[in-house]
Copies of this chain bind each other. A is one copy, B any other.
Amino acid sequence: MLIDFVGLGSMGLGMATSLLKAGYDVRGYDPDVARVEMLCAQGGVAYTGAKELQADAIVCVVLNADQTRDILFGEHGVAAQLCKGGLIISCATVSPAFASEMEFEAVTHGLLYLDAPISGGAIKAAEGRLSIMASGTVEAFTAADPLLNAMSETIHRLGDRAGPGSAMKAVNQLLAGVHIAAMGEALAFSVSQGLDPARVVDVISASAGTSWMFENRAPHVVESDYSPRSKIDIWLKDLGIVTDIGASSGLPLPISSNALIQFRSASDAGLGQEDDAAIAKYFARAGGVIMPGDY
Contact = CB atoms under 8 A, between A and B. Distances in A.
Interface stretch (A18-26, A41-49, A204-212): A204-212
Interface in A197-250: 199-200, 203-204, 206-214, 216, 242, 245-246, 249-250
Interface stretch (A31-39, A56-64, A177-185): A177-185
Interface string A127-158: 00001010000000000000000000010101
A287 interface: yes
Give the number of times this chain occurs in the complex, counting copies. 2
Contact of A212 (B172, B211, B242, B249): B211
A212 B210 contact: yes
A208 B255 contact: no
Nearest to A197: B171
Interface stretch (A1-9, A73-81, A103-111, A188-196): A188-196
A119 B207 contact: yes
A219 to B, nearest CB: 15
A124 to B, nearest CB: 10
A186 interface: yes
Contacts of A284: 251
29 contacts: A158-B203, A167-B190, A168-B200, A171-B189, A171-B190, A171-B200, A171-B204, A172-B207, A174-B182, A174-B186, A174-B189, A175-B209, A175-B210, A178-B255, A182-B182, A182-B256, A185-B254, A189-B251, A192-B246, A192-B249, A208-B216, A209-B212, A246-B287, A251-B284, A251-B286, A251-B289, A252-B287, A255-B259, A258-B258
